[in-house]
């Protein structure tokens, strides 16, 4: 099986300013090498807005158009979430944009009630797995990380993408839970958090790529807009799963 090169982009997000944030990311892309997949944080174009009125972007926004153009230009997939307004409902929508223009998305299921996200946003109900260049990828957003049943591997994916706006005071939980998800699901985890601050919180990053053993393959520097890259080795994953078939002994369950 072919390897997949992933680049994570840990960004400082200007509040409610999609044009400025896209420009920042474009400048970061200019310093990146080639990759199969580029991953951006949660609500990378606006910052994490729990009151999205006047901030959320429409379906087919300029930001999504930019993602399509950049994916085609780079011959790579782009992934990141955007605050979206559709039919008078707001969604924290995690877009996965293929280089051929195909767009798949996951609407965040676990809305962050502690911060009031549930008051304005509509929760998603569908678990979404993307197939891209031989890797099956589960899409998850921030607070989803705390709910392992939602991410439980049913032998249907190889890697989880977590995009987040995870505040500094709880970053220890972020670091521990990412490794737990990788180990318990025998998968790679690619996690991208933001840095900087918004009107409510401060963020220090902690973006990383973690292998199925819980080891860190690559990580961004804390409190800095930067990138990191790693290679997803599917042969290593398959060999580990065959040698130590943990998922065969998983408890059966059903999400109601």
| pLDDT beyond 90 at 225 | yes
Percentage of the chain exceeding pLDDT 70: 99
Domain 4-249 fold is Nitrilase/N-carbamoyl-D-aminoacid amidohydrolase (3.60.110)
| pLDDT beyond 90 at 181 | yes
Q: Where are the beta strands (DSSP E) in the chain?
A: 4-10, 37-39, 57-58, 77-86, 89-97, 103-107, 129-132, 135-141, 159-164, 188-193, 195-197, 202-204, 208-210, 216-219, 226-232
Q: Which residues of 140-163 are buried (b: 16+ CB within 10 A; e: fewer)?
A: bbbbbbeeeeebbbeeebbbbbbb
Alpha carbon separation from 210 to 100, 154, 161, 187, 213 (Å, rounded): 28, 19, 11, 9, 8
3-class state of residue 239 by DSSP? helix
Cβ partners under 8 Å of residue 125, min gap 6 = 107, 109
| pLDDT beyond 80 at 173 | yes
* Whether the Cβ atoms of residue 212 and residue 186 lie closer than 8 Å to each other: yes
Check residue 199 and give its pLDDT: 93
Check residue 63 and give its pLDDT: 98
| pLDDT beyond 80 at 1 | no
Secondary element (H or E) of residue 23 = helix 18-29
Check residue 256 and give its pLDDT: 64
The mean per-residue pLDDT over the stretch 207-231 comes to 98
Residues marked active site are found at 42, 108, 142
* Whether the Cβ atoms of residue 65 and residue 81 lie closer than 8 Å to each other: no
Percentage of the chain exceeding pLDDT 90: 97
Could you read off the pLDDT of 30-54 as tens digits, one per residue? 999 999 999 999 999 999 999 999 9
| pLDDT beyond 70 at 61 | yes
Check residue 158 and give its pLDDT: 98
Could you read off the pLDDT of 68-94 as tens digits, one per residue? 999 999 999 999 999 999 999 999 999
**pTM of model > 0.95:** yes
* Domain layout of the chain by residue ranges: 4-249
């Amino acid at each position: 099986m072919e390897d997949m090169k992933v680049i994570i982009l840990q960004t400082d997000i200007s509040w409610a300013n999609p044009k400025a944030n896209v420009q920042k990311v474009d400048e970061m892309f200019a310093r990146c090498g080639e990759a199969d997949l580029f991953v951006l944080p949660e609500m990378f174009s606006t910052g994490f807005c729990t009151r999205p009125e006047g901030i959320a972007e429409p379906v087919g926004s300029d930001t999504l158009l930019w993602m399509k153009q950049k994916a085609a230009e780079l011959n790579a997939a782009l992934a990141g979430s955007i605050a979206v307004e559709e039919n008078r409902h707001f969604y924290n929508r995690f877009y996965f944009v293929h280089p051929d223009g195909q767009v798949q998305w996951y609407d965040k299921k676990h809305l962050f009630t502690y911060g009031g996200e549930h008051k304005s946003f509509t929760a998603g109900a569908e678990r979404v797995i993307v197939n891209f260049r031989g890797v099956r990828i589960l899409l998850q957003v921030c607070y989803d990380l705390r709910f392992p049943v939602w991410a439980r591997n049913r032998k249907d994916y190889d890697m989880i993408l977590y995009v987040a706006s995870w505040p500094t005071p709880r970053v220890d939980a972020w670091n521990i839970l990412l490794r737990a998800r990788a180990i318990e699901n025998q998968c790679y985890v690619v996690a991208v958090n933001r840095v900087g601050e918004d009107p409510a919180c401060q963020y220090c990053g902690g973006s990383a790529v973690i292998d199925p053993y819980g080891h860190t393959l690559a990580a961004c520097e804390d409190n800095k807009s930067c990138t990191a890259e790693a290679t997803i080795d599917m042969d290593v994953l398959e060999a580990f799963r065959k040698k130590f078939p943990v998922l065969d002994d998983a408890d059966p369950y059903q999400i109601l």
